[in-house]
Amino acid sequence: MNRTENTPAGAKTEIATFGTGCFWCTEAVFQELKGVIRVISGYMGGTVANPTYEEVCAGTTGHAECLQVVYDPSVITFDQLLEVFWESHDPTQLNRQGNDVGTQYRSAIFYHTEEQRRKAEDYKAKLNKEGAYPQPIVTEITAASTFYPAEDYHQNYYNEHGSQPYCYLVIRPKVEKFEKVFKDKLKKNDTTPR
């Protein structure tokens, strides 16, 4: 997929790619944002072509679980996506998120343009300078490489399996917290006339 594509309405879209630990945990968060057209769970940043979930979980591919977010920049900006990125996981944990441990769960921003790189680095530096977190941010900021979509059963996971224990106990509280903090950015609260 190219960096930009035309939507049916003709609006230009852009792509952002984020690693926030388990892609199940934050896919549901980004899907709720106004201006986000599609969220695809997948793998990036490694050396193995067409990796499987099992290979990525083994930690031998170099890939991170990540989300590719297709969005309309006239509705939501990359800066706003960065804000959600920083708030939706713990960017101070090296190669882990909660009980998920390994390089595949690293915090990462895979930039697609020089502007995205600059904005990500500036935002990270600002948060560190302000002491926004008790520990320094360890988020990797690196150029996007080939994105490999995850297997079909990983896509839209929380929305299709919300009653499973992992979804209910781990993902649901994250989504509920997100909905309170970002209520003005949610599709379900969109009052824009059509």
DSSP 192: -
Q: At what angle do helices 23-31 and 78-87 cross, to 10 degrees?
A: 140
Set 22, 25, 66, 167: catalytic member? 22
Residue 56, token pair as written in the block: 């990525």
Listed in sequence order, the residues at least 6 apart from 22 whose beta carbon sits closer than 8 Å to its beta carbon are 65, 97, 100, 105
CA-CA distance, 135 to 127, in Å (whole number)? 11
- 100-101 and 96-97: which strand pairing? antiparallel
Secondary structure, 3-state, 9-70 = CCCECEEEEEEECCHHHHHHHHHCECCEEEEEEEEECCCCCCCCHHHHHCCCCCCEEEEEEE
Q: How many CB atoms lie within 10 A of CB 54?
A: 8
CA distance 33 to 29: 7
**Catalytic (active site) residue 22:** yes
Q: H or E stretch including 76?
A: none
The set of catalytic residues is 22
